[in-house]
Amino acid sequence: MFEFIELTTKSLLELNLTQVLISILTIIISILILKFLLFKDKIVKFVVEAPIEAKPGWNDGKILEKPCLRDVSNPGYITCYDPATGQFLATIPAHTDDDVKEALKKARNAQQKWVQTTFAERKRVLNSLLNFIINNQEEICWVSSRDTGKTLVDGKFGEILSTCEKIRWIIKRGEKALATEYREASPVMPYKLAKIEYHPLGVVAALVSWNYPFHNTFIPIISSLFIGNGILIKASEQVAWSMQYYNKIIKTCLIECGHDPDIVQFLCGFPDCGEAIVRSGVDGITFIGSSSVGKQVMKAASDNLTPCILELGGKDCAIIRHDANLSHALPIIMRGTFQNAGQNCVGLERILVHESLYNEFVDRVTDQIKKMKVGSVLNDDIVVDVGAMTMSGQGERLQNLIQASVSEGAKLILGGRPYIHPKYPTAQYFEPTLLIDVTPQMTILKQELFAPIMVVMKFSTDEEAIEICNKSLYGLGNSVFSGDQSKGDWMSKRLRCGMVNVNDFGATYLNNLPFGGVGISWFGRFGGIEGLRSLCLMKSVTTDRIPFFKTSIPRVLDYPMHSNGSSFISNLVILLYDNSLIDKIKAITGLIKNSSS
């Protein structure tokens, strides 16, 4: 035995590093080939061409003098345009109440068939969709960028990476999350099996925002399809143009996988279309948007008592403690603030910096923000850092908020006004802005900005930072940067919000934890196990553990009632729940006496 070990050790020592690496690489390649051979049939390849207008350099659209979604001379249509250039893209019919009714009818019919599919069949659809996304990242982001004005990096983060991760998780973990869950039976009925089953709700609806049109539409789609639901998707009218392409992607995927594409219904329209969906009688509603509209959605849903999940934005904080590593924290905070031109529900809208690091932080972010370039990633010959504002009319609102804060004592270091593009003067941009010395009572802290604006505040103690954070009516997520992990955890427990990232931003979402908050930020959860189950009919079921051992009503408790019935139950309670052994023995005696009387 010892000779064998000695020989083996000697052989390994004689191998050089190159041979070891080649051996490891050979094993990895073999595993990948085997995986491909085993699972190749699970992927169906399909093709959907992106519209010509999405291609980089396209410049054939008419420049709109005053870009606006609504045309008073054509009220039944949505005027689609590129906010980064002001170029006209298309005119698309706005869906109406009749369209909603027809869509719901189609989805319900298709869902009757879809609910009979197996998880394996649903995974095949999702694997095929994932394969398409991976191989068409550029085209998907071009379309999103053309419709919203975002940069390609912002698109790769928000549209591609996050969507691929959600699909991966559902394929790998979704079936287990929806598996029947067994619970401990009561000592009153130890012969019972107690379980929870997760069934499809039927046909659900998702009314989603415009900031990430691909991701925001496909996440409720993939969750609903995996569960067995049909779905109506109503995207914001701001992104009606991109929805035409995204609709074709999922419909083609379903058709090529052999399923009825009517299981997914895309709708685009103005607020009346959204209200029609909410009142239509769908079996569940997910809404992503503002708090004010969320209240209207909940009110309309109450007519049918339709369950709602409401994602209503945030005013997230990043707390930088005195012991934080600024070199580590700064890039994350810059990304959390300026990603997608600040148009993120979990965007960092309040940066709280300890007084000992405050001046250094301000100096360093000033240098970085000065270098940021604004423009159209598809039409400008520069590396763009900050794209367009998707919604029109935001410049004046933001400028007024900043001016109000300056009059209240804040200092405007950079930006603070709309950016006028030299080639596209009607495009919608706002300069990357740095506003410092902001205090809790200032106007700018009372509403969500959704813009490329860094708001910096100073604090002295952890308790003060927590108080400032928790003072907001919003309560979605927060970040804490600290060199002391235990202090970061201590602070996270005291922040009134739904999500906290210690030394990071947005990590809870990519780690598939439930996404949501408190206050006017949220109602319900999506993402992760809890989010998947929230789109299910959760059914509690009991069955007999042993077929011939069933519940039997004692004669003393049967109708017509016996005089000893109350005493029997009292003794039963003592037997099951009293801590005294003597009292339990007495209770058994009492039960025998009650039963025989």
C-beta neighbour count of 330 within 10 angstroms: 18
Cβ atoms of 204 and 285 closer than 8 Å: yes
Number of H helices, E strands in the chain: 20, 20
The answer to whether 311 is a known catalytic residue is yes
Rounded-to-integer distance, Cα 152 and Cα 518, Å: 32
- Backbone torsions φ then ψ of 119, nearest 5 degrees: -60, -35
User: Of 80, 308, 317, 345, which one is the catalytic site residue?
Assistant: 345
- Backbone torsions φ then ψ of 258, nearest 5 degrees: 90, 25
Residue 261: cis peptide before it, omega within 30 degrees of 0: no
Cα 23 to Cα 6, 192, 235: the distances in Å are: 21, 55, 51
Residue at token pair 């992760």? 528
Rounded-to-integer distance, Cα 550 and Cα 572, Å: 18
Q: Which two tokens stand for residue 113?
A: 């068939």
Cα 232 to Cα 99, 101, 204, 229, 265: the distances in Å are: 11, 11, 6, 10, 5
First and final C-alpha spacing in the chain: 77
45 burial type by CB count under 10 A (0-12 exposed, 13-18 middle, 19+ buried): exposed
User: Of 311, 349, 431, 448, which one is the catalytic site residue?
Assistant: 311
Q: Which two tokens stand for residue 407?
A: 């009059």
Cβ atoms of 272 and 304 closer than 8 Å: no
Beta strands in 465-545 (DSSP E): 474-475, 477-481, 499-502, 518-519, 522-523, 536-544
Cβ atoms of 302 and 464 closer than 8 Å: no
All residues at 6 or more sequence positions from 4 whose CB lies less than 8 Å from its CB, including other chains: none
Kindly report each contact of residues 166-170 with a partner whose C-beta sits within 8 Å and lies 24 or more positions away, as own/partner. Answer: 166/219, 166/222, 166/512, 166/527, 167/126, 167/129, 167/130, 167/133, 167/222, 168/130, 169/512, 169/528, 170/126, 170/222, 170/223, 170/226, 170/532
Residue 129's nearest CA partner among 291, 252, 262, 307 is: 252
Q: Which two tokens stand for residue 257?
A: 């996988």
Q: Which two tokens stand for residue 31?
A: 């595993």
DSSP 248: H
Cα 384 to Cα 57, 165, 340: the distances in Å are: 14, 26, 11
Cβ atoms of 164 and 227 closer than 8 Å: no
Residue 333's nearest CA partner among 431, 454, 437 is: 454
Residues with a known catalytic role: 311, 345
